[in-house]
Amino acid sequence: MIFLEKLRGGRPTISFEFFPPKTPEGWAKLYATIADTARLSVDLVSVTYGAGGSTRENTLELVAALQNNLGISAMAHLTCLGHSLDELAHLLDRLAEKNVPVIMALRGDPPQGETTFRSHPQGFSHASELIGFIKKGWPQFRIGCAAYPEGHPESCATDGTRLPERDMEFLKLKQDQGADFAVTQMFFDNAVYEKFVEQAQAANISMPLLPGIMPLNSASQIERFVTLAGCAIPERLRQAASEEDVVEAGYAFALEQCRNLLKNGAPGIHLYTLNQSAQSGRLAAALREEGLL
Does residue 199 contact residue 168 with C-beta atoms inside 8 Å?
yes
* Helix, strand, coil percent content, the chain, rounded in steps of 5: 45, 15, 40
- CB-CB contact of 216 with 241 (8 Å): yes
Residue 101 CA to residue 103 CA, distance in Å, equals 7
- Whether the CB-CB separation of 288 and 15 falls below 8 Å is answered with no
CB 135 within 8 A of CB 177: yes
Catalytic residue chosen out of the listed positions 17, 129, 198, 243: 17
3-state secondary structure of 156: strand
On whether the CB atoms of residues 286 and 248 are closer than 8 A, the answer is: no
Q: If you compute the radius of gyration of the chain from its CA atoms, what whole number of angstroms results?
A: 18
Active site residue 114: no
The secondary structure element, H or E, covering residue 13 is strand 13-18
Cα 243 to Cα 262: distance, rounded to the nearest angstrom: 26
Question: Which are the catalytic amino acids?
Answer: 17
